[in-house]
Amino acid sequence: MSEKAVSAALLEVRGLTVYHGQLRALDNIDLAVATGETYAIIGANGAGKSTLLRTIVGLHEPKSGHVVLDGRDITREAPDRRLAAGVALVPEGRRLFPSLTVEENLLVGMHKARPGTFDMKRVSELFPWIPDRRKQRASQLSGGEQQAVAICRALLANPRVLLLDELSLGLAPIVVRRIYEVLPALVAEGLTILLVEQDVAQARQIASQVHCLLEGRTSLTGRPDEVTAEQIEEAYFGVGALPVSASAADPGG
């Protein structure tokens, strides 16, 4: 227990810097997600949100910094090992296997499953239409349905931390609402969630902590009730975007 006290966070990112070629996509990012927490990363297009999640699961190699899961440094581990350790990503754009059926997509999601509460029966409770559609090819589903299957595919691995990259991308508001409705049930089961969202209102509503990225840097962190809409707007678009400081030529840095 004493070790847990040193690092109460389940997932921690320390001083993470990531390059895409010459471009510094992330610059010295720190964050800590506590067990059972829902943590939201917000930021404009190109801020580095996806790069952050993809680096956490091992799809990008950081220039420097560490990814730590429950006190264990997993920075050098391959993506498949990180899944086995308990980090699962629902990637931007769903990324289902188009030529596989719904059921096959879910079965593939289970092939390195850790022991846990999520099985076929449990995910069918979350989205009751899934059993009827299980023989359909994933490519024949609508965007919202694909997003639901993508979430289930990740859940079936029984992760400790679920990373969600822009669930709402390209979906109608009503569909987005239906998908976000299942998240509280997941949190209630003890799942820790790190999500990326461009929709600030959605993020503030669901998260216990928001973390704003601006051009690869942390521009704001805090509890949703601590930060004001103005602060978020400033952190989201950068100082230069605000009429008040339009004369401030130096973007700071």
Partner 1 sequence: MEWANAIVQGIVTGGFYALFACGLSLMFGVMGIINLAHGDLAIIAAYVAIALIPSTHLPMVWAFVVVVPIFAVGGYVVQRTLLQASLDRSPFTTLLVAFGMSVIIENVLLEVFSANGQSITIGTLITKSFSLNSTITISYFSVIVLAVAIMVLGGIQLFLSRTATGRLVRAVADDREAAQLVGANYRHVFGIAAAIAFATVALAGLSYGMLTEFVPTSGVTTLLFAFESVVIGGIGNVWGTLVGGVVLGVAQQIGAQINPAYQILAGNLVFLAVLAVRPRGLFGMRTA
User: Contact residues for ligand ADP (CB under 6 A)?
Assistant: 20-21, 23, 25, 43, 45-51
Q: Rule CB under 8 A: is residue 142 a binding residue for partner 1?
A: no
Q: Is 88 in the site for partner 1 (CB under 8 A)?
A: yes
As given in the structure block, the two tokens for residue 123 are 């995910």
Q: Which one-letter amino acid corresponds to residue 28?
A: N
Per-residue x/- mask for Mg ion, residues 8 to 47, rule CB under 5 A? ----------------------------------------
Q: Measured from the CB atom, is 44 or 84 closer to partner 1?
A: 84
Where does the chain show beta strands of DSSP type E? Answer: 9-20, 23-34, 38-43, 64-69, 72-73, 87-90, 161-165, 192-196, 209-214, 217-222
Q: Which of residues 196-225 bind partner 1 (CB under 8 A)?
A: none
Among 14, 24, 66, 95, binds partner 1 (CB under 8 A): 95
Distance CA 112, CA 109 (A): 7
CB of 112 to ligand ADP, least distance (A): 25
50 in contact with Mg ion (CB under 5 A) = yes
* Of 21 and 252, CB closest to ligand ADP: 21
Choose the one of partner 1, Mg ion, ligand ADP, none that binds residue 109, judging by a C-beta under 5 to 8 angstroms depending on kind. partner 1
Sheet holding 209-214, edge to edge: 87-90, 161-165, 192-196, 38-43, 209-214, 217-222
Rounded to whole angstroms, how far apart are CA atoms 92 and 166? 6
Q: How many CA atoms lie within 13 A of 208 on its CB side?
A: 12
Q: Please, which residues have CB within 8 angstroms of residue 34's CB and are 6 or more apart in sequence?
A: 8, 9, 10, 192
Stretch near partner 1 under the rule CB under 8 A, chosen from 27-35, 63-71, 149-157, 221-229: 149-157
Tokens representing 178 are 């239906």
Picking from 146, 159, 181, the residue whose alpha carbon sits closest to that of residue 89 is 159
User: Which residues in 8-67 contact partner 1 (CB under 8 A)?
Assistant: 57-59
Least distance to Mg ion from the beta carbon of 54, Å?
A: 9
**23 to 2, 26, 167, 190, 215: CA distances (angstroms):** 40, 9, 26, 37, 10
Contact flag: residue 134 with partner 1 (CB under 8 A): no
Identify the residue among 72, 111, 121, 135 touching partner 1 (CB under 8 A). Answer: 111
Which residues lie near partner 1 (CB under 8 A)? 57-59, 78-80, 83-84, 88-89, 91, 95-100, 104-105, 107-109, 111-112, 139, 153-154, 157
